[in-house]
Amino acid sequence: MIVDSRLSFARQLPSPNCSERPPGAVVDLLVIHNISLPPGCYGGGNIEALFDNRLAADAHPYFREIASLRVSAHLLIDREGAVTQFVPFDKKAWHAGQSSFRGREACNDFSVGIELEGCDQEPFTDRQYERLIEVSRLLMVAFPHITPDRIVGHSDIAPGRKTDPGPCFDWERLRAGCR
């Protein structure tokens, strides 16, 4: 259930990396991402640290490249299906970067971003798909302009720049669960 722009069963971990949506913005897009920090490694709290501006640049060589980024997503679904919410749905999370969907620029303004803990090279877990379908269906009720054809990957709105959720993501499974 979504109450006051928050997912009732999600762990709440507010990120400072958000802002107000533009006046009159209608949320009508759901963007699926993947993330693992360092790449290919799961758990450890590094994603949470990145979204909360606490990622230690010296903890891993890769972190030197990203520790200064100010990014977030609305939700993270970990490998076990647990959900953490960083940004309420009525706010703009900083997940899409330079992006465009059907000729509209700045997708952060009108989208919800969900990160799946994972990478392009590995399949996602059954628990992640189950939870993603559950959450997507709740979002489609809360934001009726989000329809199955308006659930896209980061790669769809930032082609050539982003590849996630990657070739291992089962789009048919998600879309079948959202019909």
Asked if 30 and 111 count as a contact pair (C-beta separation under 8 A), the reply is: yes
Helical segments of 78-170, H only: 126-142, 154-157
Active site residue 115: yes
**Whole-angstrom Cα distance, residue 54 to residue 64?**
12
**Whole-angstrom Cα distance, residue 118 to residue 44?**
13
Phi then psi for residue 104, to 5 deg, are: -100, 125
| Active-site annotation holder among 115, 117, 122, 134 | 115
**Whole-angstrom Cα distance, residue 122 to residue 101?**
26
**17's tokens:** 């990396």
Single-letter code of the amino acid located at 8? S
Place of tokens 């090279």: 121
Q: Point out the residues that are catalytic.
A: 115
